[in-house]
Amino acid sequence: AIDDTLDLSKSKFVVQGFGNVGAPTAMKLQQLGATLVGASDINTALWNPNGLDVQELNRIRKQHGGLKNYTHDVHKIFSAKKLDWLLEAPCDILIPSARPDAITGKNVDRIQCRYILQGANTPSSKSIEYYLHHRRKILSLTDFIVNAGGVIGCAVERNMYVDHSYKQRVKNMGIRNYVEKLIAKTISKNVSDIYERMNNKSDAIFRDLAWELALERLNSHEVWQ
């Protein structure tokens, strides 16, 4: 069965790749009460179990040197050659948002979290996710489900271009407001549907059932708006 007892207000999370995906994710999680304890970019990785200042990280991330410009307290700083060490830091939620194959057979036994949110494309493989779930009791939520916000935004733009009434409805609600609510609603529903399937299939992993759901939607020509 899936453990759904995570309390964000008491949770700590790590973001590998504090960029266009990782930074907004960190901002959202902080707003929900979670504490960012680790963050990295191509320059450095920062770790503080008491929490990092998300606002400052977001402000400096596009400056020359990126997160090297962080001025608040840190417990550990990893150099550019040791960035992947941050993936092994203890937390409740690990968010690899930097590159493919961040979690492999080389570090899978050292990952210390309860959940992985795949912000990057394919940060791990199917076999690694199976090992994480069935040997390490770590649930990895597949990239094409949890990081689908950009695709959903593009679909909204396309629908606005071809459907005037839809375009007007979106504008009346405010484009950003509409898109953010649609992303939250769509991804939340998809994750809930997959969780339910996992509870009925003890040998499954999130990726397989996400793929199953996607094929069903495509075959049924299900439309969202």
Those residues with Cβ within 8 angstroms of residue 54's Cβ, 6 or more apart along the chain or in another chain: 26, 27, 30, 36
Counted residue by residue, the chain has a size of 225
**pLDDT in the model for residue 3:** 56
Mean pLDDT, range 128-149, rounded to an integer: 95
* Per-residue model confidence as pLDDT tens digits over 9-41: 999 999 999 999 999 999 999 999 999 999 999
- For residues 210 and 214, what is the distance between their CA atoms, to the nearest angstrom? 6
Q: Above 80 in pLDDT, residue 223?
A: no
- Tell me which residue of 137, 82, 131, 130 sits closest to 112, measured CA to CA: 137
* Per-residue model confidence as pLDDT tens digits over 176-197: 999 999 999 999 999 999 999 9
What does the block give as tokens for 169? 């409805």
User: Phi and psi (nearest 5°) for 25?
Assistant: -65, -45
Confidence of residue 49 (pLDDT cuts 50, 70, 90): very high
Mean pLDDT, range 84-109, rounded to an integer: 96
Q: Is the dihedral of CA 36, 80, 57, 122 positive or negative?
A: negative
Percent of the chain clearing pLDDT 90 (strictly above): 90
Q: Above 70 in pLDDT, residue 2?
A: no
Q: Above 80 in pLDDT, residue 78?
A: yes
Q: Above 80 in pLDDT, residue 225?
A: no
H or E stretch at 27:
helix 22-31
**pLDDT in the model for residue 1:** 45
